[in-house]
């Protein structure tokens, strides 16, 4: 395990930002994904939203590794 201070900071980011950001992105992802069949340029937006939905996993992985912000 890496630096404990960074692990605590990542936990705080995960709880107060990560879940909320991913929840909002998931709402818009669910809203837009059916329209990608008809409107092809929305595919880039939905791909980006899917990446944002995975932000809590990134926070959790950084927390477990004790990784810094670089």
Pairwise CA distance, residues 13 & 26, whole Å: 18
Would you say residue 40 lies in a domain? yes
Enclosing H/E stretch for 44: helix 42-53
Tokens describing residue 52: 């944002």
pLDDT, position 1: 53
Q: Total structural domains in the chain?
A: 1
Mean pLDDT of 43-66: 95
What is the spatial distance between Cα 30 and Cα 16, in angstroms, rounded to a whole number? 22
- Has residue 70 been placed in a domain? no
Does residue 24 lie within any of the structural domains? yes
Confidence at residue 27, expressed as pLDDT on a 0 to 100 scale: 98
Kindly report the pTM of this predicted structure: 0.84
pLDDT band at 33 (very low <50, low <70, confident <90, very high): very high
pLDDT confidence of residue 66: 87
* Full residue range of the structural domain in which residue 21 is found: 4-65
pLDDT exceeds cutoff 80 at 9: yes
Q: Tokens at residue 8, please? A: 């605590």
On average, the pLDDT of the chain sits at 93
Question: Is 12 among the domain residues?
Answer: yes
């Amino acid at each position: 395990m890496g630096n404990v201070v960074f692990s605590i900071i990542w936990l705080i980011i995960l709880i107060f930002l990560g879940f909320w950001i991913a929840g909002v992105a998931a709402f818009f992802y669910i809203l837009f994904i059916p329209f990608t069949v008809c409107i092809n340029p929305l595919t880039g937006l939905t791909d980006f939203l899917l990446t944002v939905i995975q932000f809590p996993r990134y926070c959790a992985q950084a927390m477990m590794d004790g990784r810094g912000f670089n």
